[in-house]
Amino acid sequence: MAMIIDGKKISNDIKEELKEQVANLKREGITISLAVVQVGNDPASTVYVGNKKKACEFVGIQSLSYELPESTTEKELLELVHKLNQDPAVNGILVQLPLPKHMDENKIIQAISPAKDVDGFHPQSVGALSIGQNGFVSCTPAGILELLKRTGITIEGKECVIIGRSNIVGKPMGMLMLRENATVTICHSRTKDLKEVARRADILIVAIGKAKFVTKEYVKEGAVIIDVGMNRDENNKLCGDVDYEDVIEKVSAITPVPGGVGPMTIAMLMNNCVRSAIMHQKES
Ligand code: GUN
């Protein structure tokens, strides 16, 4: 019987632990605040941002809301980021992506101080992860690692195959699994014999954004499957990048969609905010 990895429960456990830690920090006079910036009103972004603010409230982190109109210029957004960088009361800065088309996302990400980059998207954060130095780790990969660890799945020495090479999931995930001593393969749209490569995996992580793409032909008997996808199927029902029903008999463990990887991203964002506040305290 496959183990269903309960991301909702694990993320709730983490948030409870953080809540206690935040309360202890408060007693020492340390308060934590996250600046959440949204430009425009993309409906999906509004839902994500709302969930992040709710999690802040639960954990005891103050969220500072910046809701800017679609017409905001790149210069105005850069000015806001600079102001937040310099504000000692702000521990973390989150600029919700995607940004409107008239802005250069990379330019905005690079303007965020690496010391407040709780999303882990700044080139310095990504570089630090690649060479094993301290820095913020992108929240979805960090959440996946935490899921594996808290489920008791051994990583060291395992064959880990990642399908998808995005900057916010696939690439940092590869670096994290390498740091944990897995043997790592990152696949993408030009990979030859993808099924054959995927079938090597003891741990298969799928982040390609294609509904039910991975079927049992991609899966080795007894593999652990991590499904990062969040799509709608032909009946408008939420589904992952993995065809859950098709692979379930073959796997030893799997994350469901919804309720697997998704809730972990926000839990790790909260974790990064707490780490940031502790770091700032040590520096001041
Ligand atoms: N858009 C979708 N996911 C994310 C995320 O994790 N962080 C930010 N800043 N924007 C996103």
Q: Which residue among 108, 116, 119, 173 is best mutated to probe the pocket of ligand 1, counting the most ligand atoms within 8 A of its Cβ? A: 119
CB atoms within 10 A of CB 187: 21
Q: How confident is the model at residue 105 (pLDDT cuts 50, 70, 90)?
A: very high
Ligand 1 atom index nearest CA of 138: 6
Ligand 1 center from residue 235 Cα (angstroms)? 26
In the residue annotation, 110 being an active-site residue is answered as no
pLDDT digits (tens, 9 = 90+) for 173-186: 999 999 999 999 99
Is the CB–ligand 1 distance for residue 96 below 6 Å? yes
Is the CB–ligand 1 distance for residue 38 below 6 Å? no
Q: Give Cα 200 to chain centroid, integer Å.
A: 25
Pairing of strands 92-95, 224-227: unpaired
Give yes or no for residue 118 having a pLDDT over 80: yes
pLDDT computed for residue 282 by the predictor: 79
In the residue annotation, 96 being an active-site residue is answered as yes
Q: Which residue among 93, 97, 103, 117 is best mutated to probe the pocket of ligand 1, counting the most ligand atoms within 8 A of its Cβ? A: 97
In the residue annotation, 119 being an active-site residue is answered as yes
Residue 25 Rama label (left phi>0; alpha psi -120 to 50; beta): alpha
pLDDT computed for residue 283 by the predictor: 78
Q: Give Cα 274 to chain centroid, integer Å.
A: 16
pLDDT computed for residue 17 by the predictor: 98
Ligand 1 center from residue 134 Cα (angstroms)? 21
pTM summary value: 0.97
Residue nearest ligand 1's atom 11 by CA: 97
pLDDT digits (tens, 9 = 90+) for 217-275: 999 999 999 999 999 999 999 999 999 999 999 999 999 999 999 999 999 999 999 99
Ligand 1 center from residue 97 Cα (angstroms)? 5
Q: Domains plus CATH for the chain? A: 29-115 (3.40.50.10860), 139-261 (3.40.50.720)
Contact 63, 96 (CB under 8 A): no
Average pLDDT of every residue of the chain: 97
Give yes or no for residue 281 having a pLDDT over 90: no
Ligand 1 atom index nearest CA of 168: 6
Is the CB–ligand 1 distance for residue 119 below 6 Å? yes
Ligand 1 atom index nearest CA of 95: 9
